[in-house]
Structure 1
């Protein structure tokens, strides 16, 4: 959440938008930057399940639990399960789950980028999509839930990187074949590099689709209506 002062001197609180950041992960992280955004109660005290003593769960507490190394296993497992289940029915819960995973998603993006050298924002989009799809299908009662989420996301994004690399056009198809160690049996048409879609256009479409999926489109549309200037 951002606070700024309007032309009339009134303090206004607004959500961050994609236009102000370089990626959706930045938007998600900024959306929980204020104390008020982290204090909304997700689960009331004692409602995580039998034998799981904990205070009321807020986004801030949930994030501390799933990122912490010293949290008792029953509590951590209960919070993981509740976050994943909630993300299947609520865009808000989906954002909380993503926020708790922002460091892991950034690290996975860097790891894949170092291995494949594809466009970093393309990889980040694939990582986000892979995470959302994995969270939708994973067994929430699996004791290895965090590991399942990570490796399901990794596999999806890795396959996307491989496909993108295989589909890259080149000017000299014969030279490319020699590097691959084989000669195609059929005639191949050379695709000029200048005929490729603009990378920013492709990435904009991917980011736009993910923004729609997470309910961020309204924040983007409202950006131009924001009054005043940042104090």
Structure 2
């Protein structure tokens, strides 16, 4: 479970995030929506301990992220697919992470296969990857430690429609097996196809309700249980 309580972030006189609170329950996908500049990425960085909040707090299973022992085994994070080291191969990227987390390196091959990066792609330098391939590698990295929580910032960027459909299935299956997913996007239709609940924030300072979150079941925006996808197999190969 992810708990966010009154998170606020100010940079001087600029308020990036203003008093945001919500919870992501076990066994659910929570869609985190808002226009560009609303503070979604900043909120996620505060949850993951990368950006110190001006006020409020966030925790995963009752513990602040920075206090989690070996956090990659508890929380899988994908915030910026372009942040991967461009000089390493995809396989090297995951192998190094597996070593740091104490994960069996056999998971590296399994996850490369799951996300649709074949042996040839695994030997390529990340600088040669398309954005979609980097997103796939980032998702493999997030899943590497077999976590129970996923925090993903715009993970569908760069994926083709078939890849987006596949990713929805992976996230739905993860939640249905008892995981917790927080998934950000600025596209409602992309999120409502997989989310159980939606959290919506606006640009801080843009209106009297700025940055106050709204939260409702995804069914309220047209989502129906019958529209869920179920996919536990391998990804289609990237073009």
Q: TM-score, normalised by structure 1?
A: 0.31
Which one has a larger percent strand, Structure 1 or Structure 2?
Answer: 2
Larger Rg: 1
Q: TM-score, normalised by structure 2?
A: 0.31
Q: Which has the higher contact order (CA 8 A, sep 6+)?
A: 2
Which one has a larger percent helix, Structure 1 or Structure 2?
Answer: 1
